[in-house]
Structure 1
């Protein structure tokens, strides 16, 4: 049997929360993501066309909340400096300094959401990066 050739419709990365309303408020009010799909105990937000993050009530989802978060949500933006100024103004938890990674061709910073997931905001510093 061959793999289906139809294009993918969208991508969703799911994070699991103890306090879903608090997570929703953060992603809506601080990050500014629009709610794309409301499944009740699972809220799916659009990051950009085709890319989404799903916030799941850990008491209902397929996985459970964990204190260790070996995952990072990375959002590429046009103006990382403006986002960094915004993040500083809001004193986001775990906010790093701005940094550049010449090998990857990015300028970025990281912080944590309300339950410890790391979010990276980055811009490319060269074409093709």
Structure 2
């Protein structure tokens, strides 16, 4: 039996400060707001992937939560984020264990954001469409 299709993907996270979160993801990260539900705001990330942030009690310690953006221009993102005074958790670094090039920042909620480029040619290229 073939499973039914999946058309899109949305990851929802809680935030204690929806206004600061919206400012960060709209103004600094440049994500487009696709749906404002009042207490939840959903952003287009890439392709058919979305992130939603909802005004709910966020975890006190967001350890273990990581949002990863895949790009060919990790250094460009690093420079962009520094220009907006976003504290850099880890500058662009080659991670030999996973064969990736990556940097890390945190959003206003303390969620870890990884900006990453896969160096392994087996990683699928982004679908255009």
In 2, Cα distance between the equivalents of 1:101 and 1:95? 15
Question: Aligned pair 1:7/2:1, yes or no?
Answer: no
TM-score calculated relative to the size of structure 2: 0.86
Identify unmatched segments of 5+ residues in structure 2: 124-129
Question: Aligned pair 1:51/2:49, yes or no?
Answer: yes
Q: Deviations over 1:25-79 (max 9, x none)?
A: 1001111111122222111111111111101010xxxxx3112112000000121
Identify unmatched segments of 5+ residues in structure 1: 59-63
TM-score calculated relative to the size of structure 1: 0.86
After TM superposition, the runs of 4+ consecutive aligned structure 1 residues lying more than 4 A away are none
Q: If each structure's strand is expressed as a fraction of its own residues, which one has the higher value?
A: 2
**Which residue pairs with 1:42 in the alignment?**
40
In 1, Cα distance between the equivalents of 2:103 and 2:35? 28
Q: 1:65 aligns with which of 55, 58, 62?
A: 58
What do you get for the CA RMSD once the two structures are aligned? 1.6
**Which residue pairs with 1:100 in the alignment?**
94
In 1, Cα distance between the equivalents of 2:13 and 2:29? 15
Q: 2:29 aligns with which of 8, 28, 31?
A: 31
